Amino acid sequence: MKIVVACDKYKGSLSANEVCNIIAKSIKDIDNTIEVIVNPMADGGEGTVETLVESSNGKYVEVKVMGPLGEEITARFGIIHNNIAVIEMSAASGLWLVPYDKRNPMKTTTYGTGQLIKKAIEMNCKKIILGLGGSATNDGGMGMAQALGVKFYDSSGNLLGIGNGSQLSKISRIDISGLIPAALDVTYECACDVENPLTGKNGAAYIYAGQKGADYNMIKELNRGLINFAKVIKNDLGKNIRDLKGAGASGGLGGGMVAFLNAKLRIGVNIIIDVTKLEEKIRNADLIISGEGAFDKQTFFGKSAFGVANLAKKYNIPVITINGSVLVSREMVRKTESNLFSGNFSILNKPMELSEAIENASNLLENTSREIINFYLKIKRK
């Protein structure tokens, strides 16, 4: 018998590696003849670097970079398989780095993210996976591009300073002649779980800038700036990113990555599936166990468990999920996902406070895993 364990993290409690290893140990404790394949998952957001580095015996690289408000910070990224860099833009340009009373996407920049990309290029990485999510920014990737040598000028021919939301409406010309040559020798994949375009009512500013500290007038100005940004990019670079699905991710960084680095925008979990070679691992499996901290409506919009289940459907392999909590009804699951999951379970065995659940997550997960596997084996072997 072969079981593949492909779970995401329980946010604030257990890493993806810890979740997978606890379940795997529980299975082996019950029957050590079962082949158990562990494949920690992520969706391109927070935890992606840790998941891929730890599961691939990769390494971390720490770099002094510019934070969202221009201050110097230390950020890190991962390198796996010798020449693939895994970067979370939030490590350098994330909202978590900005105190609540200083959040203002008119002032925040992705310059530090560009510095992380530059360092990966200097280390001869041939592929860069960039997780888009958790950003404090709405600069369209202007700052990122500047860190790699791109220059932006206003209508009077003046060189613009470090890119942020307030600079976008001032851009009149873009000069990419200074882009470091090695930058275009790298393959870029941006992991995103949103399909928002760059501009408009569903764009980066109107949908996300509010949670980054913008008031309504700022939002309108940011949207105008992104419209101008897209216009100049089309005129000077010949690329139309304004209505591109996913271009609005991370305050328009998705669009900037396409415009300046020819990046591909992909659903994050699909990138992780490819990098970890999950499809090869699940062939001939009897069962796949997935899961995440909260199995809810968002699961069906590109989260790890949904991606794993979609892949498993191709091979008619049953999938169950073991989660911190299950917040959707079975009826809703059936309507939403066309029977992708054979069962969805929570590790909670009684009403409890979140703090108690987090503190006891390991034991709760182990006990639930044992119960589920015991039942599965009993039915399977009848």
> What is the rounded average pLDDT of the residues 58-81?
98
What pLDDT band is residue 340 in, cutting at 50, 70 and 90? confident
What pLDDT band is residue 295 in, cutting at 50, 70 and 90? very high
pLDDT for the residue 380: 86
Looking at the chain, how many residues does it have? 382
Those residues whose C-beta lies under 8 Å from the C-beta of residue 48, and which sit 6 or more positions away, are 42, 86, 88, 129, 131, 191, 268, 272
Residue 62 has pLDDT above 70, yes or no: yes
The answer to whether the CB of 90 falls within 8 A of the CB of 191 is no
2-41+278-380 against 48-268: fold identical = no
pLDDT for the residue 258: 98
Angle between helices 249-261 and 216-237 (to 10 degrees): 10
Residue 329 has pLDDT above 90, yes or no: no
- What's the pLDDT tens digit per position in 233-285? 999 999 999 999 999 999 999 999 999 999 999 999 999 999 999 999 999 99
- Average pLDDT over the chain, rounded to whole? 95
Angle at 52 between CA 47 and CA 54, to 5 degrees: 95
CATH H superfamily, domain 48-268: Glycerate kinase, domain 2 (3.90.1510.10)
More confident residue, 348 or 299: 348
CB-count exposure of residue 268 (10 Å: 0-12, 13-18, 19+) = buried
Give the integer Cα–Cα distance in Å for 131 and 269: 11
The answer to whether the CB of 62 falls within 8 A of the CB of 46 is no
More confident residue, 54 or 127: 127
- What's the pLDDT tens digit per position in 197-216? 999 999 999 999 999 999 99
Residue 182 has pLDDT above 80, yes or no: yes
What pLDDT band is residue 338 in, cutting at 50, 70 and 90? low
Per DSSP bridges, beta strands 151-153 and 173-175 are: antiparallel
pLDDT for the residue 299: 86
pLDDT for the residue 241: 97
pLDDT for the residue 322: 98
Residue 193 has pLDDT above 80, yes or no: no
28-32, 300-304, 362-366, 369-373: segment of lowest average pLDDT: 300-304
> What is the rounded average pLDDT of the residues 304-329?
94
What pLDDT band is residue 339 in, cutting at 50, 70 and 90? confident
34-38, 151-155, 165-169, 329-333: segment of lowest average pLDDT: 329-333
Tell me the fold of 2-41+278-380: Rossmann fold (3.40.50)
Residue 45 has pLDDT above 90, yes or no: no
Backbone angles phi, psi at 309, to 5 degrees: -65, -40
Q: Domain-by-domain residue ranges, the chain? A: 2-41+278-380, 48-268
Residue 348 has pLDDT above 80, yes or no: yes
pLDDT for the residue 160: 98
What pLDDT band is residue 336 in, cutting at 50, 70 and 90? low
> What percentage of the chain reaches a pLDDT higher than 90?
89
The answer to whether the CB of 49 falls within 8 A of the CB of 87 is yes
What pLDDT band is residue 337 in, cutting at 50, 70 and 90? low
